Structure 1
Amino acid sequence: MDRFARLVSRLLRVPVAFVSLVEEERQILPGLFGLPEPWAVSRTLPLSHSLCRYVVASGQPLIVPDARADDRLRTDPALGDLGIVAYAGMPLTDADGLVLGALCAIDHEPRTWGEGEPADLEDLAAACSAELCLRILSARSRSAQKVLETARAAAERARNHAERLEQEAQLGMDHAELLLRASEELAQTSGLEDVRRRLRDLFVGAGKPSYVGLLVADKDELHRIADPDIEHSVEREVLTLPVSAAFPSTRAMRERRAVFVPDREALVAEYSPEAVGFFDRMGFTTVLCLPLWGSRALLGVLAVCWTKRHEVGVTERATLTAASGYIAQAVERALHLDERISVARQLQEAMLTDLPVAEGIEISALYEPAAVGDMIGGDWYDAYHLPPASSGGAPGALMVTVGDI
């Protein structure tokens, strides 16, 4: 815009020229030449000092040889403060023809404007208007681009927020389903192997662990209950751990609290090289060990492992802790049932005696319980020789007894 002011000064041979844009309360000067201070620094003029406002108001050129002799202008403070005597202003318009301001030529002496000078000023004003239109379009384009970018950013944030809400909702559904499955699946378990089998498909969803291990306490050791149907390398390698071992699971047992290992760095910092080597071989990165509390004592530990780093939030930890409560109840029932079955089997075995050897007769026995695999019932049998009828005589008769309680 300064270039247009210089062109006006050279072409019309005037000491002052400027490009003005008239606003409601002031006049902005994006281009100027020869204007004294402080106007040159601020590049603004109050409307009281603006002859260009007459150009904007009328939409027509304003050509004045001597403003002091013009009834409209002679009282304008710009004449004294800016030294305006002769004035020529051409309208500057936008693409729609709206007058934005004026391209002005100012002389400090009275002046009769030459025949071609208004036309030259008009041509320069047309070129200046075209430049302003380009700048307006460019500004609008930048504004539209900024609005578009803002809208895209807002849409991206909204999409991310929606995805986050969807993930949280899915996690909530997964957690609720986990607790529902745990309450249903583990209520009908019949032994530790059955509990371990049902754990296999209990954990599903977005945060599904890579491995879930069940370790049961026995005096000063933790015994891992192996999956009866699927062979896991974890269960082949470490089946028994002393409670004193520096493993996350044994720590949970010793300290009777949940133990969380977020990554390998934490494992190396707090646990034994044996534990680090074991987890490296298994490919585990994140581990959560939860104590299994029975009605009277601590029964063991549930080990939940992920191969990739996994953030266990407050809600997920609460859900897993609640699920471990169902698992602990199932383990307690299974241990009680296994103990009763063990005692019953011992009693049954005591009632199924070894058969004697008898001359002239072959004796064999078959015990077939009603429940396949249990070998438990009230059945019994025995065979034994009666005392001889007389001293020194032949052996007594063979007595066979078979019973059912």
Structure 2
Amino acid sequence: MPEQGRKSEANPSSSQQRALRWAGLKAASDIGMDRFARLVSRVLSVPVAFVSLVEDDRQILPGMIGLPEPWSENRELPLTHSLCRYVVASGRRLVVPDARADERFDTHPAVTDLGVVAYAGMPLTDADGRVLGSLCAIDHQPRAWKAGELSDLEDLAAACSAELCLRILSAQSRSAQQVLETARAAAEHARSDAQRLEQEAQAGLDHAELLLRASEELAQTSGLEDVRRRLRDLFVGVGKPSYVGLLVAEKDELHRVPDPDITHAAEREVLVLPADAAFPSSQALRERRTVFVADREAMVAGYGTKAVDFFDRMGFITVLCLPLWGSRALLGILAICWDKRHEVGVTERATLTAASGYVAQAVERALYLDERVSVARELQSALLTDLPHADHVEISAVYQPAAHDHMIGGDWYDAYHLPRAAGSHDETSALMITVGDITGHDMHAATIMGQIRSMLRQATLDHPPHSPATALTALDAACSVLPMEASGTLVHARLDPVVSSPDWTLTWSNAGHPPPLLRTPDGHVTELVEHDLLLHRSLGPFDRTEHQRPLAPGSTLLLYTDGLVERRGRDMDAAVAQLISLLARHGRRPLDEVLRRINTRLADPAPEDDIVLLAVRTPAASQP
């Protein structure tokens, strides 16, 4: 047996056992100790972690995550299965990359029965330096423990030791209050020590909770604004900064991401910083390292007058600038500022550095998502039709995207003139109009929308006399064959002038879309409710039907998508009734104004879905 193994045979001292009793921890789950175990598991990415305290005849686990039954239920291990007792016996940390390859432990029950392969344990001590147990990280696979991981584990062990000290001293203080009056002075001294340790322990807990919050909060972000919003309340507790700023690197500049909800003077003052500016954040970008400015004297000595004036106006005294490293490059800088002198100790700096890693992951994900959203928005905008010039027919359209940038939709409108028939002398050509909504709110939906729009145009122009139903039937047939997941609704319509008459004819085919509205010159509005099934490749091709209506001079046709009238918490029938009322009341106004009034009254300021409105008005009858 190696020397370390021989030392571990000694039982814990009686003073250690008294300290354990003062701590009040048993072979049962403890909320605070479980939090430390979860934090070790998260920070070091290990499947098993626990707070282990060594008693005379057993090892108890008040904080634990990842052990199987029956250990997870019993919360204790026999000393024969304990590697932590070596930490207690030696008073030093124990780091084992692969216990199976270590002659000290290759046949140890912890390896054979519990599946321990990689092990790292840091001593947990009381106020007098007695080792009570260890904070352990365990992996079931061989692991070369990194220096940063061991440093993080050591920091967490220091915070956990402070918590144990606090519990022990608090218990001793409560006991001291029950002794004779002559022990009052000693109790006061113990209370003072407990107060000091409580501050240290609270700081340690705040740091640990910061990492836990960062890992949970920032994992759910969807864009840079969301990251900036969550940073606002991430840093709380002891040493809370007065301002936390996010600056994103772009070429040779830093661009500040403003808080989307709260206006900060700091963000209005300096939105863009060149990389060569004499500012702490620019230095952190240039030198790719953490920059700490302890106070105003250090700011004056190390930076330019612009930086000094800026920090004076903002009231900042201490500044910490942390690089945000992505998987391939430096993404930006996290600027943490205090309005009073603040000592950033080794543990706090390590905690803030670890938290900046979570911020960097969120920023990298946000930049990727924002770039995809930007491309999709540009694609969607490019696919929207420039409305054709028409001397006779008035036409107008509105497209309003969803408020959430990641909600890229498949709503679109289209309008184009049909070629005149050979030999026709009529100057007024027929007009095709379409409004549709492809299912989905992502890049895929926008891409499918573009394909459907182009295919429907081609189907219409390739099938004279350009019947809407014939074109939709051809589109169904193509979608049932082509490898594309196309589904949604649309209305495809044709407006034809009646020869030698001021009237027009509307012919349309509806694939499951909200019914168009037709307003006659007298203000009466009709829903054109005739429709077929929606567009979906699984339904197969079938013959679409079409319908006709005569349009008197000055009639207005309105097509729209469901984002205008359908949303959570509102009755859709009531919304359609309100739409009909608005069209009836304002339908004589210019179409641009009609659509603006409708969209303002019915749509949310921040709609959850895309909205499309397309209106066409036939020429009014000429005056005699």
TM-score range, shorter-chain basis?
Answer: 0.5 to 0.7
How much does 1:368 deviate?
5.6
Aligned to 2:11: none
Asked if 1:401 is matched to 2:423, the reply is: no
- Aligned 8 A contact 1:385 1:395 in 2: no
- Distance in 2 separating the partners of 1:331 and 1:365: 37
- Distance in 2 separating the partners of 1:360 and 1:396: 10
C-alpha offsets along residues 132-176 of structure 1, whole Å, 9 cap, x if unaligned?
xxxxxxxxxxxxxxxxxxx99977764443222111100011001
Aligned to 1:314: 346
Asked if 1:388 is matched to 2:424, the reply is: no
Amino acid at match of 1:270: G
Aligned to 2:243: 211
Aligned to 2:495: none
Amino acid at match of 2:373: I
The 3 A distance-change label for structure 1 pair 220 and 174 is same
Match of 2:206 among 174, 182, 189: 174
The 3 A distance-change label for structure 1 pair 152 and 279 is farther
Aligned to 1:346: 378
Q: Between 288-297 and 357-366, report the one with greater CA deviation.
A: 357-366
The 3 A distance-change label for structure 1 pair 306 and 372 is closer
- Distance in 1 separating the partners of 2:285 and 2:403: 36
TM-score (norm 1): 0.59
- Aligned 8 A contact 1:387 1:395 in 2: no
How much does 1:342 deviate?
0.4
**Helix, strand or coil: the match of 1:308?**
coil
Match of 2:267 among 235, 246, 254: 235
Match of 2:363 among 320, 323, 331: 331
**In angstroms, what is the RMSD of aligned CA positions?**
2.2
Q: How does 1:285-296 map to 2 (within 5 A)?
A: 285-296=317-328
Amino acid at match of 1:315: T
- Distance in 1 separating the partners of 2:403 and 2:323: 34
C-alpha offsets along residues 25-53 of structure 1, whole Å, 9 cap, x if unaligned?
xxxxxxxxxxxxxxxxxxxxxxxxxxxxx
How much does 1:383 deviate?
1.2
Identity %: 78
Match of 1:245 among 263, 277, 283: 277
- Distance in 1 separating the partners of 2:257 and 2:230: 12
Aligned to 1:360: 392
- Distance in 2 separating the partners of 1:323 and 1:159: 33
- Distance in 2 separating the partners of 1:284 and 1:399: 63
- Distance in 1 separating the partners of 2:344 and 2:195: 19
- Distance in 2 separating the partners of 1:263 and 1:245: 19
- Distance in 2 separating the partners of 1:239 and 1:346: 25
Amino acid at match of 1:399: M
**Helix, strand or coil: the match of 1:330?**
helix
Asked if 1:162 is matched to 2:194, the reply is: yes
**Helix, strand or coil: the match of 1:339?**
helix
For structure 2, the 5+ residue unaligned runs are 1-182, 439-448, 450-624
C-alpha offsets along residues 315-358 of structure 1, whole Å, 9 cap, x if unaligned?
00000000000011111111111101100000110111221122
How much does 1:372 deviate?
4.1
Aligned to 1:258: 290
- Distance in 2 separating the partners of 1:249 and 1:259: 7
Match of 2:216 among 167, 171, 184: 184
- Distance in 2 separating the partners of 1:211 and 1:157: 37
- Aligned 8 A contact 1:251 1:259 in 2: yes
How much does 1:309 deviate?
0.6
TM-score (norm 2): 0.39
Count of equivalent residues? 254
How much does 1:190 deviate?
1.3
How much does 1:362 deviate?
2.0
The 3 A distance-change label for structure 1 pair 155 and 265 is farther
Amino acid at match of 2:290: A
Aligned to 1:197: 229
